[in-house]
Amino acid sequence: MKKLSQQNYYQILDVDPKATKTEILRAFDLAEETYGTDSLATYSLMTQDERRKILSKIREAYQILVDEESRKLYDQYLIKTSQITPEKIRSLQAVPRQAPAIPIEKETQGLLPPADGISSIAGEESYSGKTLKKIREQKGVDLKQIAQVTKINITYLRLIEEDNYALLPAPVYIKGFLVQYAQCLDLSPEKVREGYMKLYSLARTP
């Protein structure tokens, strides 16, 4: 069996590359139940730190695969790097956008309070990390709250807000993170993703 670091997201969730969103959600729920802190099945087989790392990868895989655009880009990445053949990738049909984020516990729902004075910033087409940080702070949302809800490593969230492109992971991962971040701030995931990546591309162009 491959090490976790060598597995692609489909292998991590143990789903076929042609899996539907329902199948991906079912696999995610099963994986969370299997490796959760209350699981008796893995309690004696691995340390708490090992379970934490596995859960982090499971949630990262879910975030990418449940969003249609992020999944399409990831599929293209797998094909380009010869990790999978095109015929094994599902046919991408037109589907509703803005797929649900990782299921949020009831106590974290209603994360965002009503906020005034956001439109002048939120209306920008190019969302820099600094702009996103201003929106977040004006809405009174702590970065730790976003990390808790999305299960994204807070280090990556800080790098996004700092526009620290050099230390961010591959674009396919950044786009998935941006979608989850935008949903937490009640912003358009598509506009935030495209706006941020436009600046990212300009900064990374020689």
Compute mean pLDDT per 10 residues along the chain, 206 residues long, and list them: 80 90 86 65 62 84 83 86 85 42 40 42 70 93 89 90 89 90 91 93 83
Per-domain boundaries in the chain = 8-88, 118-204
Task: Pinpoint the alpha helices (H) of 81-153.
Answer: 119-122, 129-138, 143-150
Per the prediction, the chain carries an average pLDDT of 78
pLDDT per residue as tens digits for the range 13-34: 999 999 988 888 888 888 877 7
CATH class of 8-88: mainly alpha
Q: What is the pTM of this model?
A: 0.50
Q: Are the beta carbons of 62 and 13 closer than 8 angstroms?
A: yes
Kindly report the number of other CB atoms within 10 A of residue 124's CB atom: 14
pLDDT of res. 36: 63
pLDDT per residue as tens digits for the range 46-82: 677 777 888 888 888 888 888 887 888 888 888 888 8
CA distance 9 to 189: 21
Question: CATH for 118-204?
Answer: 1.10.260.40
Q: Are the beta carbons of 126 and 199 closer than 8 angstroms?
A: yes
Q: What sign results for the dihedral spanned by CA atoms 148, 152, 158, 160?
A: negative
